[in-house]
Amino acid sequence: MSSTLERPAVHPKARLSTEHYQLLIGGRWRDASDGATITVTSPSAGETLATIPEATKDDVDAAVAAARTAFATWSRTSVTERSQVLLRIADLIEEHADFLATVESMDNGKPIRETTGADIPLGVDHFRYFAGVIRGEEGSATMVDENMLNLILTEPLGVVAQIVPWNFPFLMACWKLAPALAAGDTVVFKPSSSTSLSVLELARLITENHVLPDGVLNVVTGSGTKSGEYLQHADIDKIAFTGSTEVGRGIGIAAAEKIIPSTLELGGKSANIFFDDCDLDLAMEGIGLGILFNQGQVCSAGSRIFVQCSFLDTFMQRATEEFRNVRVGDPLDPSTQMGAQVNETQLAKILSYVDIGRSEGATVAVGGRRLTHGDLGRGVFMEPTLLTDVDNSMRVAREEIFGPVGVVIPFDDEDEVIALANDSTYGLGGGVFTSDLGRAIRVARGVRTGRVWVNTYNQFPAGAPFGGYKESGIGRETHKMILHSYTQTKNVLINLARKPGGMYVPPEH
Ligand code: NDP
């Protein structure tokens, strides 16, 4: 991930547009119908940042109704018009990139070098990618036989519910909004209650600049067990979800009962595989991108680190040194490499897994503790951590920790490591580090996951499909193929014959 190193000029809190956010329903900003709010705190400094509404069932239903009304006209806009809207949104994000990056770092705890270098520009690129892709989409028309014209048309699907988690709030919004709007759908969007601010600020920019007609984009904030539950059971035509496998399973069942499509981007326990012929510098960058990027809170994190036995000692010596030197600190300091975990609950979960690992016989090779010295004591900070003496059957190798904790598992050869990598209920990401291209491709093809990086990790360019095998989900995002899941196919068969076919009326009649 590239990064810029400019510090935001103004204190971040002074740059939030408000300290009391509202719901966006039908183009109007309003409080929750019962006035309930949730307080948002900074994971790095512990201070209150703002309040967001806790949407009620009435609010969610009102948002869905507004989206339904807006669909009647938005679904009939031309591809050119929608493409221009997406380009305008991309421009707006770019114009306000520093602001949005600051809000995201403040709200989520991720380092500003990541938000300015990855989350925000990748979001911009995503809107531009789909603005271009829809211009190139073509329907088809064929002659079935001499008399029958077969028209295949693509039509917008309807009102789409979108629910995203807290680890990439802004980027996940771009991944989901761009294809849905491009397809001609209207949206009710629910961010995580832990990290709603960047999406609310994006929605504010869109409404203030009159980029979308009222009701095309609606944002309902609130907890998953309230607004999320209401939304998944509302009068919607599709649900797109990113989050845990546990919640995703319930959403898939709810969608099946309504007979509507769902796309699910879920968890992972991905294998990052290092062969002894790899470039050690690339490997060290790859282990960091795999398990430290975004504080390890990445669905595709390279959390199972498989290292060939023949160079395990060399690898571990260098990796422990690199992990000790990672700069953990204030997310808004451009030199910070790892920021704060998202909240106390998440940190407690991560630390409990370190204890579980110890009780299973693992050794903490580096890290393993909360960081509390100086200003870090005000926030939720964790040491970059590697556990050794781990085998693939332990809980720390099977369950998603979702923090900067990698487990190191030795292996001897290609066949063994492919079998170990595949011994998981998940199948989202994976990495192979080697100088042997043939081996890289053999391993990439042997591993049953939706994405494999070779000699790098956790890169997410638009145009490269991302999604999971097995319990990691259904569907692929960040590629034009997702448009199919936001559209319906309409087939029109046209008889061109001058006379009846003869089934009921003779042709000579
Ligand atoms: P959750 O599944 O708990 O939450 C995800 C979203 O769903 C949040 O907006 C949450 O709201 C909401 N939600 C929670 N419960 C319900 C419910 N019953 N009905 C409807 N919505 C609900 O996941 P986390 O937020 O803890 O995110 C981490 C998980 O997401 C990890 O497992 C990770 O692997 C996965 N993930 C997958 C990605 C992928 O592309 N495959 C990308 C990023 C993350 P709230 O937070 O307000 O409670």
Q: Where are any strands of DSSP class E within 247-377?
A: 262-265, 271-274, 304-308, 363-366, 370-371
- Nearest atom in ligand 1 to 223's CA: 47
Out of 60, 119, 246, 266, give the residue to mutate to test ligand 1, the one with the largest number of ligand atoms within 8 Å of its CB: 266
Please name the residue that has the structure tokens 């990401």.
429
Say if residue 437's pLDDT is above 70.
yes
Give the whole-angstrom CA distance, residue 258 versus residue 233: 8
pLDDT in tens, 273-323: 999 999 999 999 999 999 999 999 999 999 999 999 999 999 999 999 999
Q: Is 229 in the pocket of ligand 1 (CB under 6 A)?
A: yes
Give CA separation, 381 vs 110, 335, 394, 439, in Å. 11, 16, 25, 38
Please name the residue that has the structure tokens 């009159």.
210
pLDDT above 90 covers what percent of the chain?
95
Say if residue 1's pLDDT is above 50.
no
Q: Is 167 in the pocket of ligand 1 (CB under 6 A)?
A: yes
pLDDT above 70 covers what percent of the chain?
97
Q: Is 194 in the pocket of ligand 1 (CB under 6 A)?
A: yes
Determine whether 299 is an active site residue: yes
Q: Is 301 in the pocket of ligand 1 (CB under 6 A)?
A: no
Q: What's the angle, vertex CA 460, arms to CA 381 and CA 486, rounded to 5?
A: 115
CA-proximal residue: ligand 1, atom 20 (nearest): 228
Say if residue 14's pLDDT is above 90.
no
Catalytic residue selected from 54, 174, 229, 299: 299
Out of 40, 166, 194, 341, give the residue to mutate to test ligand 1, the one with the largest number of ligand atoms within 8 Å of its CB: 166
Measure the N-to-C terminal CA separation of the chain; round to a whole number of Å: 72
Count Cβ atoms within 10 A of the Cβ of residue 35 and give its class: 0-12 exposed, 13-18 middle, 19 or more buried. Answer: exposed
Q: Is 244 in the pocket of ligand 1 (CB under 6 A)?
A: yes
Q: Is 223 in the pocket of ligand 1 (CB under 6 A)?
A: yes
Determine whether 137 is an active site residue: no
Q: Is 196 in the pocket of ligand 1 (CB under 6 A)?
A: no
Rounded distance from Cα 27 to ligand 1 centre (Å): 26
Rounded distance from Cα 243 to ligand 1 centre (Å): 3
Q: Is 288 in the pocket of ligand 1 (CB under 6 A)?
A: no
If pLDDT is split at 50, 70 and 90, which confidence band does 7 have?
A: very low
Say if residue 11's pLDDT is above 50.
no
Rounded distance from Cα 167 to ligand 1 centre (Å): 9
Q: Are strands 28-30 and 23-25 parallel, antiparallel or unpaired?
A: antiparallel
* Mean of all residue pLDDT scores within the chain: 96
Rounded distance from Cα 248 to ligand 1 centre (Å): 8
